[in-house]
Structure 1
Amino acid sequence: MDRINKTSMSKNTQQDCQMEMDNTSMRVPLAILYALFFLFGLAGNLLALWVFLRVHPKKNSVRIFLINLALADLLLVICLPFRVVYHSNHNRWVLSPLLCRIVGNIFYMNMYISIVLLGFISVDRYLKFQRASCRRVFLQSRWSALLCCVIWTVSLAAVTPLIVQTPENGELQKCFQYKKLQNSKWKAYFNFAVVGIFWVVYGALVISYGRIGMKLLTASRNKPDFPNAAKYNKTAWKSFFVLFLFTICFVPYHSVRIFYIMSQMEKDGISCDRKKVLDKTNEVVLLLFALNSCLDPVMYFLLCSSIRKVMLKIICNCFSKQITRGLINSSETPQDQPKVSVVELNTVT
C-alpha cells in the first residue's frame, strides 16, 4: 500500500509540475517566432534551391553540399508549423502520436544533417585554400554526391528506430516536452553521441575558417598595396562571419544539451524548479538552433561568388523592370493614352 501511495503521489507531483510548465508565458512567443522562421526559411531555401538547380547548374563539390544543405533546411522548416500549432494550443498535441515522433525526429535529423554538411563545406574550402592535392580526389562532385547519399542513408537508418518505437509512459496530448530516459538509456547515449558529433564538426569549422581568415588577414595587412589585399580582407571577414553564425546558432544548444540529457538519466528524478529551468532554457536555445535554417541562405550568398552574381543579377533585373515601368507610365501624356470608341464602350457595357 505504501508503494502504491508513493507512486500515486509521485504521479500527482509530476502532473502538477507539468501543468506549471504548460502555463508558461513562453507559448505565444514560441509560436510567433517559429511561424516567422517557417516563412523566412521556406522562402529563402526555396529560392536557393531554384538558383542551384535551374539558374546556375554548374557542378562542383561545394554546390552539391549546398543543395543538400538547402534541402535539409527545407525539410526542417516544414516541421515548424506543427510546433506553431502545438504551442498555440496550450502545449497540447491533438494529432497522432506517431506523427509527433515523425515530426520531432525529422526536425533533429535534418538539423544534424545540416551541421555535418556545414562541416564538410568548411573542410572543402580549407583544402581549396591550401590547394591540397587530396581535394582533387576526395572532394570531386561525384564523391561529394556519394558522401551526401551516405549521410542521408545513415541518418534515416538512425532515426527510424526512434520513430517506430512507442515511448514508455508517453502522454497522448504531449509532444515536445521534457522526457525521462531512465528506462531507455540507449536513447540518452545516442543523444550524447550526436552531441559529440557536433563538437567534432565545430572543431573542424573553427580550425578551417579560423586558419583561412587569419591567413587572409595577415596577407592583406603585410601587403596593403597588393592588388588583392582588399579582397583578401573581405573574404577573411566572411569566413569569420560564417563561423560566428554557426557559433550563435548551435553552441548554446549543445552546451545546455549536455546537462539536459544528464538530468533525463537521473534515477531519483529532479526537482520541479530545476526541471522548469532546464525546459525553458532548452526552449530558448532551441530557437537559436532553428534560426539557422533562415540564416543558411545568407551563408550561400557569402560562400559562392557565382551564386552571389546570379542573385544580384536577379535583384537588379527586378528593380530595373520596375523603374522602367514607372518611367514609361510617368512619360505618357493624355494624348498618348489609348482611345476607346463608342462601339467598344457599348460592347463592354
Structure 2
Amino acid sequence: MQHCDYYLCLTVYIVTFLTGFPTNVLAFYTLSRKIWRKPAPIDILLLNLIISDLLFLIFLPFKMQEVANNMVWNIEYFLCPLSGFVFYMTIYNSTFFLTAVSVERYLGVAFPIQHSLRRRPIYAVSASIFIWGFSILHLSIVYIVPYYNPSGTVPPSRNVCYEGFTDAQLEILLPVRLELCIVLFCVPLFICSFCYINFIRILSRLPNIGRRRKLRAIGLALGTLLVFVLCFGPYNVSHVVGFITKSSPAWRDKALLLSTFNACLDPIIFYFTSAAFRNTIGHGKHYSTSLKGKHCSQTCVHK
C-alpha cells in the first residue's frame, strides 16, 4: 500500500481546493454569461473544462479526508470507487479539452477564412459530449475493479481505497492503465504539441498582429503545453512503469499531486484566453474585443 506524505499531500490538496474552487466558480460564471449572449466554440470547450475542474474539486475533500486519516478509508465504501472514478475521469477530461482548445486555435491561424466560415457552436457541443462519454467509458474501470473478485474467497480490503489490489485485479488494471497513458495522454499530447508548435510558427510570421498581442498568444501556447506535460506527464509515466514492474511505483502518489495542481492552473489559462474573464477580475476594465477585421482575432488570443 502507498502512503502519501501527510503534510505534503494534505497541503497540496488544501491549497488546490482553496485556490482552484473560487477561481473556477468565477470562470464558470463569466463564461456562462458570455455563452448566453454569444456562444463561441472555444468558450464552450473552456466551459466544459471548468465544469470538469469543479467536479474534480467537489470530490477532492474525499482525498483530503483519506490523507488526514493516514490513508485509511473510514467512511461508506461505495464513496471510494465513486470518488476515485470522478477524480481520475476529470484528470483525463482536462487533457482532451485542452487538446480541443489547441485544435481550435491552430485552425484559426492556419485556415482563418475557411475556419471562420465553418465555426459553429454545435460542433463544440458535439465534441464536448464525445469527450465526456469517451472519458466516462474509459475510466469506468476505476469504479469496477475494486468490486472485481472472481475467486470469491478473500474480498478486497474495505479500509483502503484503490490500493491493495489482488493479482486478478492487477491483471486487468495494469494493462488498462497503459492504455489510458497511450490513448488519453500520449495521443492528446501529440495533437496538442502539433497544433501549438504550428500555431506559434504561423503566428510569428504574421505581420499584421501587434508584437505585444503576438507574444501573449505565443506565451499562452507555450504555457499550456508546459502545464500539460508537467501536470499529466509524471502520473502517466507511472502507468508505464507499473505495467513493466507489475506494481505501482512508490512515487506514484507524488506524481498524482502534480495532476491535482491542474485544477488551479486552468483558471490562469482562462485569464489569458478570455477578455471577459479578465474584465470580471479587473472589475470592468475595458479590453478590446476585436483585431479590427483580422481573421485570426478570435483564435490568436480569444475574445
Cα distance in 1, alignment partners of residues 202 and 209 from structure 2 = 16
Cα distance in 2, alignment partners of residues 213 and 163 from structure 1 = 40
Cα distance in 2, alignment partners of residues 244 and 228 from structure 1 = 24
Work out whether residues 31 and 276 of structure 2, in 8 Å CA contact, stay in contact via their aligned partners in 1: no
Cα distance in 1, alignment partners of residues 170 and 217 from structure 2 = 47
Work out whether residues 30 and 276 of structure 2, in 8 Å CA contact, stay in contact via their aligned partners in 1: no
Q: 1:59 maps to which residue?
A: 39
Q: 1:258 maps to which residue?
A: 240
Structure 2 counterpart of 1:214, one-letter code: R
Q: Gaps spanning 5+ residues in structure 2: where?
A: 150-154, 287-303
Q: 1:308 maps to which residue?
A: 278
The Cα offsets for residues 248-283 of structure 1, whole Å up to 9 and x where unpaired, read as 111122122210233336xxxxxxxxx6xx22x111
Work out whether residues 156 and 166 of structure 2, in 8 Å CA contact, stay in contact via their aligned partners in 1: no
Q: 1:33 maps to which residue?
A: 12
Cα distance in 2, alignment partners of residues 27 and 111 from structure 1 = 22
Work out whether residues 174 and 239 of structure 2, in 8 Å CA contact, stay in contact via their aligned partners in 1: no
Q: Secondary structure at the match of 1:313?
A: coil
**Which residue, 93, 113, 118 being the options, matches 2:98?**
118
Residue 86 of structure 1, CA deviation: 0.7
Q: 2:202 maps to which residue?
A: 215
The Cα offsets for residues 168-205 of structure 1, whole Å up to 9 and x where unpaired, read as 34211101436455445333332222111211100111
Residue 43 of structure 1, CA deviation: 0.9
Return the index of the structure with the highest Cα Rg: 1
Q: 1:186 maps to which residue?
A: 172
Residue 286 of structure 1, CA deviation: 0.7
Cα distance in 2, alignment partners of residues 250 and 193 from structure 1 = 15
- Please tell me whether residue 90 in structure 1 is matched to residue 70 in structure 2: yes
Distance 1:137 1:111, change over 3 A: farther
Between 1:255-264 and 1:30-39, the stretch displaced more is 255-264
Q: 2:50 maps to which residue?
A: 70
Structure 1 counterpart of 2:71, one-letter code: N
Q: 1:327 maps to which residue?
A: none
Q: 1:246 maps to which residue?
A: 228
* 1:167-206 equivalences in 2 (<5 Å): 167-168=148-149, 169-177=155-163, 179=165, 182-197=168-183, 198-206=185-193
Residue 164 of structure 1, CA deviation: 4.5
Residue 155 of structure 1, CA deviation: 2.9
Distance 1:247 1:216, change over 3 A: same
Q: Gaps spanning 5+ residues in structure 1: where?
A: 1-17, 266-274, 317-349
Between 1:93-102 and 1:149-158, the stretch displaced more is 149-158
Work out whether residues 44 and 125 of structure 2, in 8 Å CA contact, stay in contact via their aligned partners in 1: yes
Q: 2:24 maps to which residue?
A: 45
Work out whether residues 84 and 142 of structure 2, in 8 Å CA contact, stay in contact via their aligned partners in 1: no
Cα distance in 2, alignment partners of residues 70 and 208 from structure 1 = 22
Distance 1:164 1:180, change over 3 A: closer
Residue 163 of structure 1, CA deviation: 2.1
Cα distance in 1, alignment partners of residues 73 and 27 from structure 2 = 33
Name the structure where helix makes up a greater proportion of residues.
1
Work out whether residues 270 and 277 of structure 2, in 8 Å CA contact, stay in contact via their aligned partners in 1: yes
Work out whether residues 66 and 300 of structure 1, in 8 Å CA contact, stay in contact via their aligned partners in 2: yes
Structure 2 counterpart of 1:234, one-letter code: R
Distance 1:254 1:163, change over 3 A: closer
Distance 1:227 1:260, change over 3 A: closer
Residue 314 of structure 1, CA deviation: 4.4
* 1:258-337 equivalences in 2 (<5 Å): 258-264=240-246, 278-279=249-250, 281-314=251-284
Aligned-residue RMSD, C-alpha:
2.6
Work out whether residues 97 and 172 of structure 1, in 8 Å CA contact, stay in contact via their aligned partners in 2: yes
Residue 106 of structure 1, CA deviation: 1.0
Residue 85 of structure 1, CA deviation: 0.9
Where relative contact order (Cα < 8 A, 6+ residues apart) is larger, the structure is 2
Work out whether residues 124 and 139 of structure 1, in 8 Å CA contact, stay in contact via their aligned partners in 2: no
Work out whether residues 181 and 187 of structure 1, in 8 Å CA contact, stay in contact via their aligned partners in 2: no
Q: Secondary structure at the match of 1:45?
A: helix
Q: 2:297 maps to which residue?
A: none
Q: How many residues align?
A: 278
Work out whether residues 180 and 264 of structure 1, in 8 Å CA contact, stay in contact via their aligned partners in 2: no
| TM-score, length-scaled by structure 2 | 0.82
- Please tell me whether residue 149 in structure 1 is matched to residue 119 in structure 2: no
